Amino acid sequence: MPIADKLVLQRQRHLKWRALDRLELVLMMLSGILCFGFSLSVTADIVTRTIGHPWLWLQEFTSALFIYAIFVGAAAATRRNDHLYLTAIAESMHGTPRLIVEIIIRLVVLAVSVCLIWYGYLNYVRGFGSFRLPSGWPIAYLYIIIPLSGILIALFTIEQLVNGFINGFDHPEPPSDDDHTIPFSTSVQPGAQP
């Protein structure tokens, strides 16, 4: 099979996951917005308490932003395979040992996502019996992000497993720009004209 046909076939295999690329971008932007909002609300809370006129609802808003940022960020990190300890273990291996470790890691992440879905849903349902003050809203609005995050983590983990079985898990890093630079000397050469 010619190389061009192999590249087309490989590109077609990855095309079915393009929608997840857009979802990852949305999650990354949402994570940034949530973290910025959290920082802004903490600052506003400190300022309003310092001047003697605290906004009581701001603590509730801040905790909601914090919880949402954690679980949205966890889903985005799963898609990007950004867990430092887990990826460091797998990237130090090659061949069959790496394949085994990559599969085990993803099965563990998948099991955790199932727990997030199940127990997060149970907490969400129970959250309608407790209410946040001062808004009086049921605490379930904080818990809804947990099963949603679990669903996204499971989806991204399944995607990684499928792509890993089709294309392999061992992806060498692309060469950096520093590898192709020509050494440049700023020293004055003897006999050079100014």
131: helix, strand or coil: strand
**What pLDDT score was predicted for residue 180?**
54
Prior bond of 134 cis (ω within 30°): yes
Record the pTM.
Answer: 0.75
CB 161 within 8 A of CB 105: no
Tell me if 189 is assigned to some domain: no
Tell me if 185 is assigned to some domain: no
CB 48 within 8 A of CB 54: yes
Tell me if 180 is assigned to some domain: no
Is the pLDDT reported for residue 56 higher than 90?
no
Per-residue pLDDT averaged across 44-65, rounded? 92
Tell me if 193 is assigned to some domain: no
Tell me if 190 is assigned to some domain: no
Tell me if 27 is assigned to some domain: yes
Residue 9, domain extent:
3-169
Tell me if 7 is assigned to some domain: yes
Tell me if 187 is assigned to some domain: no
Total domains present in the chain: 1
Interval 148-190: pLDDT, tens: 999 999 999 999 898 888 887 765 555 555 555 555 555 555 5
Interval 62-100: pLDDT, tens: 999 999 999 999 999 998 877 656 667 777 788 888 888
